[in-house]
């Protein structure tokens, strides 16, 4: 039964004879994979002597958009994506989660306030989720003299990843930043909507930070 099912699966995904590329199309396809440039791939695959540059560009564009070649490229992209997901456990949910860990990170998760208003960096109880938001950690060790005594000093500095960029990426995923008004793209209007949406999101995050938690509150993001 398993052998039969495997054979049926092979037939299901087998290519039709009409899907096969010609020799020159195959050469173009492989040259494009190597160079990433359709025009250069066309030059390598076809005789372009006597052709004007604009003609070469047009022919390369047409060939790149040929249904058979487009299908091959889409199939290859899907295969590369599948391999990446299998090898690196990449998924849409994981990417969104990583962006959220950065965008909603809280400085209070990394420092310990003192009674005199100062604070020192405390990474002793750092979790993996909190570490995901850290971009850089610098440790400086030196000595200072206090009278006749020499005191060892360790200074720890850290830098969080760009919260704004992460929030903008999340906002785009959640469609918080409209890019179209009444069916017509208007640059100024678009910029105004994006600026307002980003400001509202920033205010929401600021509220989270003021409450001293690294997690989103129960209420939803601003619309």
CATH code for the domain in which residue 71 is found:
1.10.10
197: nearest Cα among 164, 171, 169:
171
- Which of 88, 122, 146 is where one domain is finished? 88
Collect the ranges in the chain with pLDDT lower than 70: 1-19, 179-223
Domain membership of residue 126 (yes or no) is yes
The predicted structure's pLDDT at residue 160:
92
Q: Check whether residue 113 and residue 193 sit in a common domain.
A: yes
- Which of 67, 88, 109 is where one domain is finished? 88
The predicted structure's pLDDT at residue 64:
93
The predicted structure's pLDDT at residue 16:
53
Domain membership of residue 3 (yes or no) is no
Q: Check whether residue 110 and residue 200 sit in a common domain.
A: yes
- Which of 88, 119, 139 is where one domain is finished? 88
Domain membership of residue 168 (yes or no) is yes
Q: Check whether residue 33 and residue 107 sit in a common domain.
A: no
The domain of 42 spans 19-88
Q: Kindly report, residue by residue over 164-193, the tens digit of the pLDDT.
A: 999 999 998 888 887 654 444 445 555 555
The predicted structure's pLDDT at residue 204:
54
The predicted structure's pLDDT at residue 23:
92
């Amino acid at each position: 039964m398993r052998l039969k099912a495997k054979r049926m699966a092979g037939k299901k995904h087998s290519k039709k004879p009409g899907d096969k590329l010609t020799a020159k199309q195959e050469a173009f396809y492989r040259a494009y994979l190597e160079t990433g440039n359709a025009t250069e791939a066309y030059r390598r695959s076809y005789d372009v002597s006597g052709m004007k540059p604009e003609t070469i560009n047009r022919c390369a564009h047409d060939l790149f958009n040929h249904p058979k070649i487009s299908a091959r490229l889409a199939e290859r992209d899907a295969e590369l994506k599948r391999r990446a997901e299998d090898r690196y456990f990449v998924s849409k949910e994981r990417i969104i989660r990583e962006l959220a860990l950065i965008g909603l990170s809280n400085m209070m998760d990394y420092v310990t306030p003192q009674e005199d208003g100062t604070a020192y960096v405390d990474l002793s109880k750092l979790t993996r989720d909190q570490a995901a938001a850290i971009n850089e950690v610098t440790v400086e060790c030196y000595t200072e003299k206090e009278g006749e005594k020499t005191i060892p000093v360790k200074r720890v500095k850290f830098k969080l990843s760009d919260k704004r960029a992460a929030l903008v990426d999340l906002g785009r995923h959640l469609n918080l930043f409209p890019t179209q008004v009444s069916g017509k793209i208007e640059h100024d209007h678009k910029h105004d909507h994006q600026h307002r949406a980003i400001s509202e999101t920033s205010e929401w995050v600021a509220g989270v930070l003021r409450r001293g938690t690294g997690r989103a509150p129960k209420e939803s993001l601003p619309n």
